[in-house]
């Protein structure tokens, strides 16, 4: 007589395994992944350029060019992933990913982000292609965007395109933010 596992036992073990996998939140997975330096990253973000939850609130439109490591050649079809704290919330629900066009340009619009206690509001970026990836952050206030010392150090090759430029139009802040795609 053949010893076989019953169907009921198989279903029970499958249900336990499925439940265990679903209990792992993205924050737990990110905590285990040492490659992600910022909280809230989700590699399964939706592909979109409009992250706004309310068309009438304060918005930030970010556009820029992704350059190669020399800072001179735009990178076509680079993947750009962005995320930030949702307004009036301490959760990272504003997430998206998109690709650059043939000229290395990207653009997106989002609600003005909330901030962590004691920190400035920021938008987090992951830029990647088949060969490399890098994480960056853009700090914001109501008048413009600002870079970190890390961004300044790793993007010197951008020269005059290094610092973000910004202007306000009614309830929308527009920022030009260029990046280089380098291995970290």
Name the percent of the chain lying above pLDDT 90.
Answer: 59
pLDDT at 184: 54
pLDDT at 160: 93
pLDDT at 108: 97
pLDDT at 27: 47
Name the architecture of domain 59-180: Sandwich (2.60)
pLDDT in tens, the chain (184 residues): 566 667 777 777 777 777 665 555 544 554 445 578 889 998 999 999 999 998 888 899 999 999 999 999 999 999 999 999 999 888 999 999 999 999 999 999 999 999 988 889 999 999 999 889 999 999 999 889 999 998 999 899 999 999 999 999 888 999 999 999 876 5
User: pTM value?
Assistant: 0.78
Boundaries of every domain in the chain: 59-180
CA 11 to chain centre: 38
pLDDT at 30: 46
């Amino acid at each position: 007589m053949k010893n076989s596992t019953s169907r009921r036992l198989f279903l029970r073990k499958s249900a336990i395994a499925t439940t265990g996998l679903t209990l792992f939140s993205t924050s737990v997975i990110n905590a285990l992944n040492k490659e992600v330096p910022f909280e809230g990253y989700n590699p399964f973000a939706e592909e979109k350029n409009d992250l706004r939850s309310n068309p009438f609130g304060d918005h930030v439109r970010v556009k820029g060019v992704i350059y190669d490591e020399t800072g001179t050649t735009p990178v076509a079809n680079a993947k750009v992933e962005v995320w930030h704290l949702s307004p009036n919330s301490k959760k990272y629900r504003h997430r998206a990913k998109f690709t650059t066009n043939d000229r290395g340009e990207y653009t997106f619009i989002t609600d003005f982000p909330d901030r962590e206690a004691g920190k400035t509001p920021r938008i987090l970026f992951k830029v990647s292609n088949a060969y490399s990836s890098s994480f960056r952050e853009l700090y914001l206030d109501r008048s413009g965007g600002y870079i970190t010392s890390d961004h300044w150090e790793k993007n010197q090759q951008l020269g005059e395109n290094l610092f973000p430029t910004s202007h306000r139009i009614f309830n929308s802040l527009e920022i030009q933010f260029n990046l280089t795609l380098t291995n970290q």
